[in-house]
């Protein structure tokens, strides 16, 4: 008698966690829609398409409305369930929000068509998850209670089983073991899944990152122990800091005692498409280490590692990466061994970076670190270093109640605070990310691009085909392009030929570039000089827009007489400790201040940093305005 194979569900993360981990969450909606129909027909258990950092990134970097993204993706995926990552009481932000905001956000997300909510808390504090879980249940959707897995002396099977029971009692329909740093070993996974299955009798889904190289092996052992669903990413955006490859897991599982219900051949067009799309994001494709066993030492999640690289690059301090990674476990121990997942990964990571970059531990602490020590993020899993806590918040005592109990209802007050928010969606954007939303709406980018707004998938498919095809350079002798003449001369070819060039080639005025050109089956290495023509109209438009924005920024800075390169010297002059953006100015010119008093807030690495008065005196000059970017060492203000 033929044995029935057990079905293992596959959740594809390519449109959310995969590019969040590998490409700093930069994938645009217009690059998702052309492949949506093919993905919808694969037979995935679900597609993770929203949540995590995507809400912030859409506004902050992509000039996209995150609600519009969810809307058009829901319309595009007609068969497959959509899934999101929700940070409990933090929603998609980096702090706790009032209960009425949590309720409204979940309700609105359900209205936009979300099916499965993976709810977690960075500290595994069940109190921070219960309101969001209840809101999901109230709206009739699937609640996936999440265990944030990490290692340390306080973490064992009993700890996780106890927390799993709390999740079940709070209404979880399934359990996710979220191994965000790739620390869960195959043997550890088998033991943990076995224990949870025996105690909870709920479906279990596995999530990991491939940074340590154990992901695929861990999945197999977890499945042997009874796991029901695994998270994977398309091979073009898998491995490294992303998830195990979908194709690999499908091939392995389908030939054994299991089945995924997915045909391997159907996945090929997806990987071909995403290979082309990935080239569009080379600027953010920064993680090149492949398997990094140092992750087992530093306990750093995939997304945190790629963001670390990006942020340190912005700080011109990438050479400090190893020092920052080594500092992470020390900060984590000081903070009571929190799992490193958003927002605790940002809190711990940014503090580790500050400790290294400033050359002194806890010389400067972000507002988020101070609030963590006050207990405003919840109950740390382990014991906090009280000496460090005192250094950060003095004699202030941390709270012991649920943090959200101290937050008054926000919705009605926010309507008065943001009168321009004429829809619930806008209001929620302002509440979650006030400054980011302000900048976003100021650019008049509320509406997504016409292609996204109209959801014209056919146009987007054609657009993707054109933009990913080779560019053709006309090298005829009568062309006005000096580039064409240069190519023809160097190749010593006859007139009127076409050369297929690499799609990654960039040609700038007055510079010399090496360029690979394929002609009649042969590849030629060219040096191109005195280019007077930008080849791609799209690149020309983007460069013009970039230059326009730069000019506008400089115009604002000029109007406010902000020095771009001046660096002050002296105890009464305060310079920016790092690159960032001026979030808020708290004092005025001529105002008296005391030593240690807050003067302004600098946003750097997505964290808020208070810049304090170094001495008693009067504010002589404030050389910045809110919303302006500053470089490390630029003068912020002076005191006399």
Task: Write the pLDDT tens digit of every residue in 571-623.
Answer: 588 888 877 888 889 998 899 999 888 899 888 766 788 888 888 999 988 98
The span from the first CA to the last CA of the chain, in angstroms, equals: 90
Q: What is the pLDDT of residue 314?
A: 74
User: In the numeric block, which tokens belong to residue 62?
Assistant: 């992509």
Confidence of residue 489 (pLDDT cuts 50, 70, 90): very low
> Highest mean pLDDT: which of 180-194, 440-454, 540-554?
180-194
C-beta atoms surrounding 333 within 10 Å: 16
Q: What is the pLDDT of residue 554?
A: 30
User: In the numeric block, which tokens belong to residue 408?
Assistant: 């008054």
List CB contacts of 111: < 8 A, sequence separation 6 or more: none
Question: Residue 154 above 60 pLDDT?
Answer: yes
The stretch 232-241 carries a mean pLDDT of 95
Question: Residue 445 above 50 pLDDT?
Answer: no
One-character DSSP codes across 354-396: HHHHTTSTTSS-BHHHHHHHTTTT---SS---HHHHHHHHTTP
DSSP category for residue 3? P
Question: Residue 442 above 60 pLDDT?
Answer: yes
**Domain spanning 560-639 has what CATH number?**
2.40.50.100
One-character DSSP codes across 522-587: EEEEEEE-SB-S-S-HHHHHHHHHHHHHHHHHHHHHHHTT--SS----STTEEE-SSSEEEEEE--
CA distance 456 to 76: 10
Q: What is the pLDDT of residue 579?
A: 76
Question: Residue 503 above 50 pLDDT?
Answer: no
Q: Determine contact, residues 179/217, Cβ cutoff 8 Å.
A: no
DSSP H or E run through 92: none
What SS3 class is residue 72?
helix
Confidence of residue 444 (pLDDT cuts 50, 70, 90): low
Q: What is the pLDDT of residue 571?
A: 58
The stretch 93-108 carries a mean pLDDT of 95
Question: Residue 519 above 70 pLDDT?
Answer: no
Question: Residue 10 above 80 pLDDT?
Answer: yes
Confidence of residue 301 (pLDDT cuts 50, 70, 90): low
User: In the numeric block, which tokens belong to residue 264?
Assistant: 């391997």
Question: Residue 471 above 90 pLDDT?
Answer: no
CA distance 65 to 429: 9
Burial class (CB in 10 A: 0-12, 13-18, 19+), 72: buried
Q: Which of 130, 135, 133, 134 is closest to 144 using CA atoms?
A: 133
The count of C-alpha atoms lying within 13 angstroms of the C-alpha of 11, restricted to the half-sphere facing its C-beta, is 28
Question: Residue 496 above 50 pLDDT?
Answer: no
Confidence of residue 278 (pLDDT cuts 50, 70, 90): very high
Q: Which of 316, 303, 304, 309 is closest to 288 using CA atoms?
A: 309
The lowest-confidence range among 39-43, 124-128, 252-256 is 252-256
Confidence of residue 273 (pLDDT cuts 50, 70, 90): very high
Regarding the domain with residue range 295-406, which homologous superfamily does it belong to in the CATH classification?
A: Conserved carboxylase domain (1.10.472.90)
What SS3 class is residue 15?
helix
> Which residue has better confidence, 517 or 33?
33
Question: Residue 472 above 60 pLDDT?
Answer: no
Confidence of residue 358 (pLDDT cuts 50, 70, 90): confident
Phi, psi values for residue 366, rounded to 5°: -70, 160
Q: What is the pLDDT of residue 458?
A: 54
Q: What is the pLDDT of residue 1?
A: 53
Question: Residue 170 above 90 pLDDT?
Answer: yes
> Domain spans of the chain?
295-406, 470-535, 560-639
Q: Which of 634, 441, 627, 604 is closest to 552 using CA atoms?
A: 627
> Which residue has better confidence, 270 or 581?
270
User: How many residues are given for the chain?
Assistant: 640
The stretch 102-117 carries a mean pLDDT of 98
Q: What is the pLDDT of residue 469?
A: 43
CA distance 518 to 630: 44
246-254 vs 215-224: helix crossing angle, rounded to 10: 40
The lowest-confidence range among 262-266, 447-451, 463-467, 495-499 is 495-499
pLDDT in tens, 305-329: 766 777 788 778 888 888 988 899 9
Confidence of residue 548 (pLDDT cuts 50, 70, 90): very low
> Which residue has better confidence, 430 or 488?
430
Q: What is the pLDDT of residue 628?
A: 85
Q: What is the mean pLDDT of the chain?
A: 82
Q: What is the pLDDT of residue 526?
A: 52
CA distance 334 to 349: 13
The stretch 406-431 carries a mean pLDDT of 96
DSSP category for residue 117? E
DSSP category for residue 256? T
Burial class (CB in 10 A: 0-12, 13-18, 19+), 557: middle
Q: What is the pLDDT of residue 391?
A: 95
């Amino acid at each position: 008698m033929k044995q029935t194979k057990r079905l293992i569900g596959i959740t594809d993360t390519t449109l959310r966690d995969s590019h969040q981990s590998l490409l700093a969450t930069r994938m645009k909606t217009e690059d998702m829609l052309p492949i949506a129909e093919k993905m919808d027909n694969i037979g995935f258990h679900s597609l993770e398409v929203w949540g995590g950092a995507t809400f912030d990134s859409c506004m902050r970097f992509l000039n996209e409305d995150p609600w519009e993204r969810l809307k058009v993706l829901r319309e595009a995926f007609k068969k497959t369930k959509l899934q999101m990552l929700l940070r409990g009481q933090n929603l998609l932000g980096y702090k706790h929000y009032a209960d009425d905001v949590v309720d409204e956000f979940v309700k609105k997300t359900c209205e936009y068509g979300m099916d499965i909510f993976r709810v977690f808390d960075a500290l595994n504090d069940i109190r921070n998850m219960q309101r969001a879980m209840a809101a999901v249940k109230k709206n009739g959707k699937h609640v996936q209670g999440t265990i944030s897995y990490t290692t340390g002396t306080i973490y064992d099977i009993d700890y996780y089983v106890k927390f799993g029971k709390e999740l079940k009692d709070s209404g979880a329909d399934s359990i996710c073991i979220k191994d965000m740093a790739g620390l869960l070993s195959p043997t550890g996974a088998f033991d943990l899944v076995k224990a949870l299955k025996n105690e909870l009798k709920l479906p279990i889904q596995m999530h990991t990152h491939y940074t340590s190289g154990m992901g695929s092996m861990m999945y197999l052992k977890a499945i042997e122990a009874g796991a029901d669903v695994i998270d994977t990413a398309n091979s073009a955006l898998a491995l490294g800091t992303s998830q195990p490859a979908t194709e690999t897991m499908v091939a392995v599982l389908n030939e054994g005692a299991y089945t995924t219900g997915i045909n391997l051949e159907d996945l090929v067009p997806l990987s071909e498409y995403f290979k082309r799309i990935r080239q569009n994001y080379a600027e953010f494709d920064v993680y090149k280490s492949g398997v990094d066993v140092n992750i087992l030492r530093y306990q750093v999640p995939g997304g945190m590692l790629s963001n670390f690289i990006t942020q340190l690059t912005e700080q011109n301090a990438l050479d400090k990466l190893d020092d920052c990674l080594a500092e992470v476990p020390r900060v984590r121990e000081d903070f009571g061994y929190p799992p490193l997942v958003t927002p605790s990964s940002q809190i711990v990571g940014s503090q580790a970076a500050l400790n290294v970059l400033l050359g002194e531990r806890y010389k400067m602490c972000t507002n988020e670190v101070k609030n963590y020590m006050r207990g405003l993020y919840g109950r740390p899993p382990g014991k906090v270093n009280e000496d460090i806590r005192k250094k950060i918040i003095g004699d202030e005592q941390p709270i012991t109640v649920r943090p959200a109990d101290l937050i008054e209802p926000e919705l009605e007050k926010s309507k008065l605070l943001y009168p321009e928010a004429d829809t619930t969606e806008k209001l929620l954007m302002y509440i979650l990310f006030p400054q980011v939303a302000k900048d976003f709406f100021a650019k008049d980018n509320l509406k997504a691009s016409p292609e996204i707004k109209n959801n014209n998938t056919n146009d987007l498919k054609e657009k993707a085909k054109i933009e990913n095809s080779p560019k053709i350079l006309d090298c005829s002798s009568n062309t006005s392009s000096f580039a064409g003449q240069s190519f023809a001369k160097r190749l010593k070819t006859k007139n009127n030929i076409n050369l297929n060039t690499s799609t990654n080639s960039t040609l700038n005025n007055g510079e010399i570039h090496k360029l690979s050109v394929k002609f009649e089956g042969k590849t030629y290495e060219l040096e191109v000089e005195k280019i007077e023509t930008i080849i791609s109209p799209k690149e020309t438009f983007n460069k013009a827009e970039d230059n326009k924005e730069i000019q506008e920024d400089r115009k604002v800075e000029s109007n406010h007489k902000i020095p771009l390169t001046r660096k002050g010297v002296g105890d009464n002059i305060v310079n920016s400790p790092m690159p960032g953006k001026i979030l808020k100015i708290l004092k005025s010119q001529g105002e008296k201040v005391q030593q240690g008093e807050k003067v302004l807030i600098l946003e750097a690495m997505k964290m808020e940093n208070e810049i304090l008065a170094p001495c008693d005196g009067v504010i002589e000059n404030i050389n910045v305005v809110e919303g302006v970017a500053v470089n490390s060492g630029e003068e912020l203000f002076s005191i006399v």
